[in-house]
Amino acid sequence: MFKNALVSVSDKTGLVEFLKPLAAKGLRIVSTGGTAEHLKAAGLQITELKEQTGFPEVMGGRVKTLHPRIHMPILARDFEASDLELLKKEGLEPFDLVIVNLYPFEETLLKKDKDGLGEQDLIEKIDIGGPTLLRASAKNFSRITVVADPRDYEWISSQGQTSLEDRKKLAGKVFAHVSRYDSLISQWLGAVNGPELSFGGSKVLDLRYGENPNQKASWYAASGDRKGLHTAKILQGKALSYNNILDLEAASQLAREFDEPTAVAVKHNNPCGVGMAESLLVAVERAAAADPVSVFGGIVAVNREIDADVAELLGKIFLECVVAPKISAAALEVFAKKKNLRVLEWPDLMTCERGTEIRTLAGGFLTQTPQDLGSSTANWKFLGEVPGDAVMKDLQFAEKVCAALKSNSIAIVKNGQTLGLGMGQVNRVEAVTHAVTRMKSHHKITNQMVLASDAFFPFPDSIEKASEAGVKWILQPGGSLRDEEVFAAARRLGVNMVLTGERHFRH
């Protein structure tokens, strides 16, 4: 049974309900400022903090709990006689329950633009005393139950006490919570690419398993994010898998790159069909027809509202998931016929910004800024004809699609539709071969097609294969030692070359 509690919270949810039964059993409560007033108003007997410290809150509340007569009862070790003797000498009782949550820095950061808040408003929400209390209490978990999350009130109440294992878990939770809080502040202060880096997140859910059934997995939302995929609503279907989430992210990232109505089909984290048109219905038709074999069991992201007609078309394909910024009620009625299809509505699909990319390594991790999937056409160089509007549109389309594929990658497109995609090959000519083979499998051979490459061509052989397949425009960054040989082959074969100066590797 708890005897002495220190309580200082910003989130008062469930606090009175948690403390009343404990107070009825003799719990003494020491509390601060607004928390004390809240508890008093509920009829609880409270010892004001200044009664414990003999010192008033000062500097507008900036200094209140940072006092030896608060931290001695927290840090005192029950196995050290000298610690207990000191408490007795000072007339202090050790705290065995500490309930603290922190100033709402994250919430303030998220609404700063909307509410017109400035830097000083955020600074005032950086908690100092709270993290200190939490860390001190968590350090002494052998005898102190420390609670930072109101969701823990219920199970603690039902048990009536905590075991050493319980207290250890709560302490671990506290250190993770404080670490996340501090990392959010450091990111706000611009420490993302500094000599030290920390980042935090909140668990969205535990997943059934990871990439494979023998792997454990969880999904976390990045600290301070309120627009990411985790905010999407699952309107239909069972829980998302690890692979679903990766593919939804990949499909959405590419769909977000286009202003025109666009549909992106993804399989195993690679686009397998992309369509762009003046209407979403036509865009979906193009994406589905791009590679009708590979789209089976895939995931489709679109960048416009899905209506009933689009839903009917998508319903004819076996898909794992569909995601859109908005889905009409009529479309949902259509999707309801496909009970195993996961349907997600993500209002911020088009406005969500990609953050720093992080890749884990043995003993560390790499960070990088997100890739710009489309280079500025102002820097393009044209070797051959200058493209008209239609070809120019396909060149830009092809570059973005190619940049979303695993390297080495090739994208062959025409009229806003991918015809053949080659990805994940360890040499460029094989990537061209794969793209051409896929194109020939599903489309009649045409001319004036556009081909994009994520990197330069080291030899003319890829140009020759592309020309044989009917490609008349090739977009690439350039930069090979044999550029002149490659350019000469293009001139000889009547292929127009577009140099962007921008590589688009993806690993």
Residue 157: give its domain's CATH number: 3.40.50.1380
What CATH number does the domain containing 242 carry? Answer: 3.40.140.20
Told to judge if 139 belongs to the known catalytic residues of this protein, a careful annotator would answer yes
Per-residue pLDDT, averaged over 29-43, amounts to 91
Residue 363 lies in a domain: no
Of 139, 169, 173, 442, catalytic: 139
Residue 504 lies in a domain: no
Mutual angle of helices 461-468 and 483-493, in 10-degree steps: 20
Assess whether 322 and 450 both reside in one domain: no
pLDDT in tens, 366-408: 989 898 877 689 999 999 999 999 999 999 999 999 999 999 9
Q: What pLDDT is attached to residue 135?
A: 95
Model confidence, pTM: 0.83
- The tokens describing 361, both together, are 């390594």
Assess whether 341 and 391 both reside in one domain: no
Lookup result for tokens 């052989």: 461
- Top pLDDT among 66 and 338 is at 338
Final residue belonging to a domain, choices 188, 217, 245: 188
| 307: nearest Cα among 345, 281, 344, 341 | 281
Range of the domain at 75: 4-188
Q: Taking CA 237 as the corner, what is the angle to CA 231 and CA 241, rounded to the nearest 5 degrees? A: 65
Q: Residue 61 pLDDT more than 80?
A: no
Segment among 57-61, 72-76, 444-448, 496-500 with least mean pLDDT? 57-61
Q: Residue 198 pLDDT more than 80?
A: no
Told to judge if 67 belongs to the known catalytic residues of this protein, a careful annotator would answer no
Assess whether 56 and 165 both reside in one domain: yes
Q: How buried is 283 (Cβ within 10 angstroms: 0-12 exposed, 13-18 middle, 19+ buried)?
A: buried
pLDDT in tens, 126-138: 888 899 999 999 9
Of 67, 173, 268, 442, catalytic: 268
Share of the chain above pLDDT 90, in %: 77
pLDDT in tens, 104-113: 888 888 877 7
Residue 37 lies in a domain: yes
